[in-house]
Amino acid sequence: MNCEQVNVLLDADAKLTVAQRQTVDEHLASCAACREVWDAYGELSALRIPPTPNDLRTRIVAALVARPVSSVRGIRRSFVIGAVLVLGAAAATTVALRYGTQPEPEPASVVETDAPPPVTTPTPASSEPVPASQPNSAEVTAAERSQPNDAASSLAFPLDRSSVVVIAVPDPAADSATAAALATCHDVVVEHMRAADGLNIIAEDRLAPFAGSKLSETEIARQLGAATVLVLRSAERQPSCNATLFEVEGAARRAGLLVFLGPSWTQERWQQFAAGITRTVRDTLLNDPASLRAQAQANVLNTSLGDRERLSALYALRRTGPGSMFADPSYDESVVAAVIQIGMTSRDADARANAWTSLHFVEDSAVLQPLLYALANDSNERVRAAAARALSTHVDEPGVGDALRRAAAEDPNDQPTVACCIPTVRESARLALRGGMTPHDAVRSAVLDESLSPHERLLLTSPQNLGMRLDQFDADVARAVFALGVAADDPGLRARAWGLLEAVREPEFKAPLLEDLARHPAENVRTAAARGLIQLRDEPDVRAALEQALNDSSAGVRRTARASLDGVGLGFGR
């Protein structure tokens, strides 16, 4: 009897006759190879297999469908090898989860900072996804990863809700300070998230096979079996960190924070930012909204906590409440009083600014006098700007319009510190004077108002403000944005205009966009031009230009051109 016949008999072990058992025993006594396999099977069968995470099945199937199944010599041998692989995968998962519970680092001493407060924001179009800390591994080539794994993407198994992929997307044209800020953001956020109970963080080395890939961040997460992905980017080539959490199914945005670094930004502030991101991600994925809201309100009212901690709870209270971000969050009187107390008495300028920002759209008349006082008297420009924006809800109340007009004409802060999207006090006051309008009318009136600067005309369309798409407006608004882009010498302003055109199909806009895509020296302008041409991608000359842009020296341009060719909207102009 040969080895194959013995393997067949061993597979039916319980049904063997006495004669068959004797034949198998004689073969095992004379065949060392089969005897070793059988002994190994016996040892493995006696082992207790540890529990595995819910997503392991998805990951194993995704890996198997990507490669042909190798033939094996015998049935029993294949079982033994398979058992070893499963045990190895379970052990590897256990190690990863253990590594993810490392202790949180000791915080640095608290230092006040001039950095603007965190702002919720959509994610703009970006460069190619590459881990911030990129090893030399080349397990999968760019060509192999250039298309989604259809078999893996169509698996019937649900994605793991507790697994989060963390991807840093560097801007290849950013300066060293901006690149360093993003790298620090990535490292400290991953460190904090790995210390959070209940989350399985996929980052760094585990993303190495996707280096150079053209896959979207959500598709990378899908192939790794994760239900969500946290994308980290720089904003407007400034030292900053824009962290946005996306669902993989439908690529819906779940939460996000954006911070621009000020001159006194410290390691303490990085720790606070990372802790806030971690808390937001964990709460969003794992916790009951009603319980979170109750706890958040209790923390806002807890005067034994620090001002920043109470305000962080306030944002959680708003995030878990009913309604949209452009509606009254319906704080009760005790919460409004707590916020006013922080805004009026805190020695921390960030806390005061965040307090007034949180009162935007709050209709309670108790906020009027504190906001008017802050607009006229606070020494910090960010605090005054936040007070102005919050007063937009009350622009029809007596004295508010006059105070805003005075600030719009006389406030000393008339030069933006961040060109893209942080308004000055004067700009904030002028925008607040449009607060009696609907959001749609406020944007339209600002874009068409030629008495305003080009920067201010586009300000309300920025992600930090209303973030409305141009297809929600009439053709006059789109033409005004196009004209601003044509006239702009500043690359940032030109790129903003072109990016906003992604929602508009207008052949008359084509020529300048094609010219910039092919020849503009600024990478962000070429990227935005590729995005602005998405609605015209079916025209032969546009398609040819986008295909040519796949060879651009910038990874961001190449990736955006690919997305536009495929009709994949990245939300650049939202």
Burial of 521 (0-12, 13-18, 19+ CB in 10 A): exposed
3-class SS of residue 232: strand
- Could you state, in chain order, the average pLDDT of each consecutive group of 10 residues for the chain (574 residues)? 69 62 75 73 59 52 46 31 28 25 30 35 38 36 38 56 91 80 94 92 89 82 91 83 86 74 83 89 83 88 92 80 62 93 94 92 92 96 94 92 94 75 84 79 86 80 55 88 93 88 91 96 92 92 95 86 76 38
What would the two tokens of residue 191 be? 């460190």
Q: How far apart are CA 330 and CA 317, in angstroms?
A: 10
**For residues 83 and 349, is the Cβ–Cβ distance under 8 A?**
no
Residue 261 burial (CB count, 10 A): 23
Q: What is the pLDDT of residue 353?
A: 94
Q: What is the pLDDT of residues 418-427, one digit of tens each?
A: 655 678 899 8
Furthest CA-CA distance within the chain: 105
Map out the domains of the chain as residue ranges. Answer: 3-99, 114-286, 322-436, 448-574
The CATH T-level fold of domain 114-286 is Rossmann fold (3.40.50)
In the chain the first and final C-alpha atoms are separated, in Å, by 72
Q: What is the pLDDT of residue 68?
A: 44
What would the two tokens of residue 434 be? 């449009």
Q: What is the pLDDT of residue 251?
A: 64
Q: What is the pLDDT of residue 44?
A: 60
Residue 54 burial (CB count, 10 A): 16
What would the two tokens of residue 15 be? 């049904």
pTM for this prediction: 0.53
Q: What is the pLDDT of residues 311-352, one digit of tens each?
A: 888 877 877 666 555 566 778 899 999 999 999 999 999 899
